[in-house]
Structure 1
């Protein structure tokens, strides 16, 4: 112990006037070590406390994070639900929009197709009409060319007397044959005086026949057309007047026979222009022909005369068959009377049907009103229902004496149902 005290009391350093011994140094070292240890413990405690606080804060942050994450997840789920609902709405709207656009496109396509079809049809109709008109124009052009050729042929025909007579005869025969029935006329018939008119139209009821001459002289007329100067035209006109007068006198002498032919004969002119020229510039010839009981007729006047004769023949045939027509009319009136009677019966049936339909409409109207009252729960007013109840025209005959329960007393009463006779 003394050695230890001696060792501890040995000076190890000097700090100014103070001497630092080994004991002081050891005590200072121990004190310093203790302070470091305390500081270390405090530091460790503080570090542990800081770690605990940090851990608590981390746990709090973790809990907050979990809460926030749960909120985020919930918000995300809600957002996903809303997004799903929005997607469904958008999908439905898109489907509706697609359907609407499709319908509109289909309608527009249909209208466009219909319009194009109508335009195509109209175009085809216009083209068809245009083709028809072009065909008519082509036909008219062909007719004009054919007419020009026929005019040339007519000029050649009229230049020959024999051919000219055949031409007038053929036109007259065509008009007569088209207008009169077979057997009502005769061509080149021989009269009692030996003359042969070009046509002899047989009149009804034993009346004398009508003579028609088709040999009209056109040499002087052609000379009038061919004359260059006034003197030549005057001479040709005089020759034409003389030829016509001679021809009228021949017709009057040959074809007007008392009791065999009519008092008037026809002189057929196969040209409307020649007929008009005669009546305009040669009126004296027309008057002489009338006095000689010869009527100058053109193709149109001959056709009209033939139609009149046809009407006369038809009237004569009707007069001959008057009794048969009267009988047919009587039977027709009987048929009309039967039809009238049946129509009146049908009218009565239609009237009864209309009345039945009106009754049915009244019943359906009342049923509709009762249904509306039932739907609106309006059972308070029974007056209207009782007043509007439809009275059956015939009582049901399923049970001759049914038992009906009285709604007030509940007792069964016998009700005798009287039906209509």
Structure 2
């Protein structure tokens, strides 16, 4: 037996016990020796010999005890080894018995599991066959229902197709009818428009014939000028066909301006419409003929100079009129062309005292004159305003006197009220000691006094 096999818990306990007893005996012997030495240390030599004898016996007893303990320890170790060997053999037998029992149980469990698996396999096979049968029946039922649904859908689709065809046919006929009706109406409108265009063309021809007549063109310019004057000025601020100058030449329109004397000062306005010259200029510009454009502009300038000279000679006669006159052209394009000619506008104003105005410029000038008329009216009314303020001042002075009198009356009334208040306080102080009567008796007495009165 090896040392590792011999060193078991039982063997170690049997070996340690005697060793502890030996150690305890040694300690006891040492203590006894120490005690005896202390006790007999001061005595004589005889006592020392006695002590040594006793110590010798004690040492012998200790040796005997040690030997006994060693033998006891050997016996205990042998017994422990024997007990350990028996325990190991018993444990091995138990393990072998347990292994055999476990093997038997595992074998039984395996047989049971094999049997259970067989039963489950049979059941699964039966379930699979049953499911296949049910699925086959379900497939047949679904196919039958799908076939019925397909037939129903085909019938419904056929009915819907017929309905849609009918509605489409009806809608198409209605739409086509409406479209033909609209086309007919529009063709009728186009026909009417063509008739109106023909009438308009005839009107344009008439207008062209009118514009080719010098007097008719002048009449159109006068209408345009009269519209501006009537829109901006009042009826008493301008007149039509006013005779001017020593020969009584009548101007188209004249604006009445305030003069220094009793009579007014007239601002003459004459309307001119040189359409032929302006038309030739436009045609030359459209054709791109530079020479024709220059010639047309020169003719237009010569025509305007001649008209300005005529206006100056006929209508500019100070002090009956202003020192200048207005030449009104009814087209903005013609007015722009006049301004485009270098120095023409200034030359007409400087040489002939004639100012050329277009519709927009004439409107601005008339607005300025209207503001001047309003300012003049305010200046004329200023005297009346001063007289009115003088009358108001006199009335205000009388009103101030009346206020002073009223203030004095109010002060007198205030003094009277102050005196009455003082007298009231005096009466209250004097009546302070008078006994107050009950309300019923006071009312009766006051009522009797009123009846007596």
Q: Normalized per residue, which structure has more helix? A: 2
TM-based fold match above 0.5 = no
Scaled by the length of structure 2, the TM-score of the pair is 0.39
TM-score (normalizing by structure 1) = 0.42
Q: Which of 1 and 2 has greater Rg?
A: 2
